[in-house]
Amino acid sequence: MDMTADTQITDLQPTLARLRSAWQDSKPTYEQRRNDLIRLRDALKRRLDEMTRTVSSDFGHRSVHESRIADGMTAFNEINHLLKHLRRWMRPRRTAVGWRLLPARAQIRPMPLGVVGVIAPWNYPVNLALIPLATAIAAGNHVYLKPSEHTPRTSAFLRDLLADVFPPTRVAVATGGAELGAAFAALPFDHLVFTGSTAVGRKVMAAAAAHLTPLTLELGGKSPVLIADDYPIEKAAARIATGKWFNCGQTCIAPDYVLVPKDKRDALVAALRKEVWARYGEHFDNLADYTRIVNDGQFARLKGYLDDAKDRGIERVTLAGHADASQRLLPPTLLLEPGDDAQVMQDEIFGPLLPIKSYKTLDEAIAYINGRDRPLALYPFSNDNATIETILHSTLAGGVTVNDTLFHNAVSSLPFGGVGPSGMGAYHAQTGFETMSKLLPVLWQAKTTGADLLKPPYGKAKWLIDLIVR
């Protein structure tokens, strides 16, 4: 696998031109789209073990099972959903014209846009590259992919995988660092999908603005868990632990902090410790299932949060094991009652650190969430429907899983996207298909129509105008 052949910035525009010219010359039919998706799915299945080894080598160590679930299952699930529904989504959709325009008829016709750019992140480097790519292919587009430079082996794997499936005039891959990524974002795509941090998302949006390139921005933020007073703490802890320490917390929709009733905080700490011991061992000896931090820069950033918390006197609870910088191993760690000025409460954590904050009333907890940027995900825990409805009515997030974490992202029929600083637009399934299409409105005028009378001198059509203006 050649990781040395990074793309030259001077090659970006000619490659885009080739993709667009080929698309214009032969726009993908239903049969081609379907065959492309099947070949992509089958190629990934054949190389699934290679994928897990490659991703793990980029992380230093990543749980094989987490890679199979997060980068394998999710991609297969989405491609299968696209295949199942593609013919129906492609059909023109009849729509009413209203009595004033009868007997005309109208339809909405999904049309491919052209060339879609995809900038993928490092945390789920296969899933978050292939799902938007497959969706764009389903919508009849060609694709130019820029995978993350922080997982270079996986980026090379994707380049080789896609070269085996698609001709270079249908799908191309650009590899390289931040400078190339900035130039890629500035290309005149017909649509651009970016997944990453809010800070970089702002730069991508600024670069795309020069060409008025339509954007789907999948960003992040601080996704809260809100445990209501009635919910069993042990069950909440089990489900929070899954969402927080899967992929070592390097997930855009991982729980970023927990709001818990004041008198249940210590019980939650004990329950989370019990969960960590059950999963990774009391002495942190099940390290095969515990993913490492992806690189030294991310490890140093997270260590900086811990140092800042120590300087502020914030209580830290290490649930098992200890940090080892040589392995980029950072254990599950709780930070109790951090103030809003702590760095861990200002930035998206993207790691295994979990702040716990107690509250006295539900209204106080809701106000705390609403006092911050709208999150990418929200996780309310309550068995009382009225309480859940109060939380849903009073807050707004990109997506919600009730009484669990993460899993709304696994439902293919649900759109996935943020709101405000956590993102712009959405994709997955039909929402993604329509995002990467032009829903073209078409009106067929009848041979004989009253509209022919609507012309000066309007006095002759006064009776018709009186009829329709009401």
What positions carry a catalytic annotation?
218, 252
CA-CA distance, 333 to 321, in Å (whole number)?
10
Pinpoint the alpha helices (H) of 312-423: 362-370, 385-394
Contacts of 426 (CB under 8 A, 6+ apart): 216, 415, 416, 417, 432, 435
Burial class (CB in 10 A: 0-12, 13-18, 19+), 179: exposed
CA-CA distance, 130 to 270, in Å (whole number)?
39
Q: Indicate the length of the chain as a whole number.
A: 470
Decide: helix, strand or coil at residue 61: coil
- On whether the CB atoms of residues 416 and 400 are closer than 8 A, the answer is no
Decide: helix, strand or coil at residue 247: helix
* Residue closest to 345 by CA, chosen among 300, 305, 293, 378: 305
For the chain, the straight-line distance linking the first and the last C-alpha, in angstroms and rounded, comes to 69
CA-CA distance, 71 to 64, in Å (whole number)?
10
Burial track 76-94 (b if 16+ CB lie within 10 A, e otherwise): eebbebbbebbeebbeeee
**Rama region for 98: left / alpha / beta (φ>0; ψ in -120 to 50; rest):** left
User: Tokens at residue 189, please?
Assistant: 């795509």
C-alpha Rg value of the chain to the nearest Å:
25
